[in-house]
Amino acid sequence: MPKKINSLLIIIFVEYYKYTAMNFQKDPLHNKIFETLRDRIVYRDYHPGMSLSEKELCEEFKVSRTPLREAIKKLEDMKLVTAIPRYGTYVAPIDINEIRCAFEVKIKLEGLAGQLAARRITVNKLKEINALINQADFKENHRTLIEIDADFHEIIRQVIQNPILQEILENLHSRCARLWNSALGEIIPIEQVVDQLKEIYLALEKRDADKAGRLMESHVQYFIDKIKNQLL
């Protein structure tokens, strides 16, 4: 693995280990706000550069400033927003090179997640994945496919039984899905992504950890190649 990627892995593991250690018991209120704002940024309901009004968001969520600021802080840690003292909070621009680096880190961690998932996934979770893939077969909308892919990866994160890896992958997936939704949507054939998810599902069903890991890495590599070919 290149030295640059090794360094990124070390930095991300250290920072998120500290983060998860301090925040293992999540406040459900600020976490719900965080997830809502995160999804609005990822799916471009909030565009890069858009100002986020603290007053308006507090009124919308019917909360005080404290839980909102905790949610904003987590978004800032994920580099989804930029907070400028005395000026406000803005949706961060999409940095193509940074997201390329995120994909390069994500590829190895998703491979590990695939291996762990194949060993630990339950029958019920396999059924959930199968139902998701069946939904994807009938979708022609890229946003819906991105949501299905996000749900697929969320199930994988749930079953790996590793909260540190889960937290890191959640961060990376949000960053990478943002680029997919903003720039790669129309150039990624839906059927190819669905076929990849089907192959991963079959490997998980057979409890083939090595194959599941390889297929998860290939799934991420597919997006890296698209970035290189289309955007760099």
Q: What is the pLDDT of residue 111?
A: 96
* Domain-ending residue, one of 91, 111, 138: 91
| Per-residue confidence band for 223, with pLDDT thresholds at 50, 70 and 90 | confident
User: Distance (Å, rounded) from C-alpha 52 to C-alpha 76?
Assistant: 12
Q: Identify which of 91, 1, 86, 76 has the alpha carbon closest to the alpha carbon of residue 41.
A: 91
Q: What does the DSSP assignment read for 121-141?
A: --HHHHHHHHHHHHHHTT---
> Residue 182 sits in which domain range?
96-230
Indicate whether 212 and 161 sit together in one domain.
yes
Indicate whether 81 and 165 sit together in one domain.
no
pLDDT (mean) for 170-195: 79
pLDDT at 25 over 50: no
* Domain-ending residue, one of 33, 68, 91: 91
User: Distance (Å, rounded) from C-alpha 52 to C-alpha 165?
Assistant: 30
- Asked whether residue 104 is domain-assigned, the answer is yes
Query: Against a cut of 0.95, is the pTM above it?
Result: no
The total domain count for the chain is 2
Q: What is the pLDDT of residue 137?
A: 63
Indicate whether 113 and 222 sit together in one domain.
yes
Indicate whether 158 and 85 sit together in one domain.
no
Indicate whether 124 and 215 sit together in one domain.
yes
Residue 180, classified by CB atoms within 10 Å of its CB into exposed (0-12), middle (13-18) or buried (19+), is buried
Q: What percent of the chain has pLDDT over 70?
A: 83
Phi, psi angle pair for 67, to nearest 5°: -65, -35
Indicate whether 73 and 174 sit together in one domain.
no
- Asked whether residue 11 is domain-assigned, the answer is no
Q: Residue 151 belongs to a domain with what CATH number?
A: 1.20.120.530
Q: Residue 71 belongs to a domain with what CATH number?
A: 1.10.10.10
Tokens of 109: 């961690």
* Domain-ending residue, one of 91, 121, 145: 91
pLDDT at 22 over 50: no
Q: What is the pLDDT of residue 13?
A: 53
Most confident of 23-37, 68-82, 126-140: 68-82
pLDDT at 87 over 70: yes
Indicate whether 182 and 120 sit together in one domain.
yes
Q: What is the pLDDT of residue 205?
A: 98
